[in-house]
Amino acid sequence: MTETVKVARRGQVTLPASLRNAAHIEEGDYIQFFIEGAAITLIVKKLIDKSQTYFWTREWQEGEREAEEDIRAGRLKTFDSVAELIVELKS
């Protein structure tokens, strides 16, 4: 997808909605710029609250993928009470 936009006063550029939607850019996101020759590459950066950074570690994401796979394959158990769960965990 390509779009052509005009550079406004003070170097401002408005990203067309089609590009924002395609790149999932939302208000408040940060964009990192890389320049290579005459080409500029934009990378969308999402800020993550410091208290949530553990979730985005490689190890945690691998665990999330494994859990999703187990759920899709039906490898899960349900319990009617916490006591039943504790009995299962201790066995």
Whether the pLDDT of residue 47 is over 90: the answer is no
Does residue 36 register a pLDDT over 90?
yes
Query: Under 8 Å CB-to-CB from 77, ≥6 apart: which residues?
Result: 88
Residue-wise DSSP of the chain: --------GGG--PPPHHHHHHTT--TT-EEEEEEETTEEEEEEE----GGGGGGGSHHHHHHHHHHHHHHHTT-----SSHHHHHHHHH-
Q: Is residue 4 part of a domain?
A: no
Same domain for 38 and 54: no
Count how many domains the chain has: 2
Q: How far apart are CA 42 and CA 25, in angstroms?
A: 11
CATH of the domain at 38: 2.10.260
- Tell me the mean pLDDT in the region 29-50: 91
Range of the domain at 18: 9-45
Q: Are residues 40 and 58 in the same domain?
A: no
Residue type at position 76 = L
Whole-number pLDDT of residue 48: 84
Could you give the percent of the chain with pLDDT greater than 90?
Answer: 78
Give residue 15's pLDDT band: very low, low, confident or very high (50, 70, 90).
very high
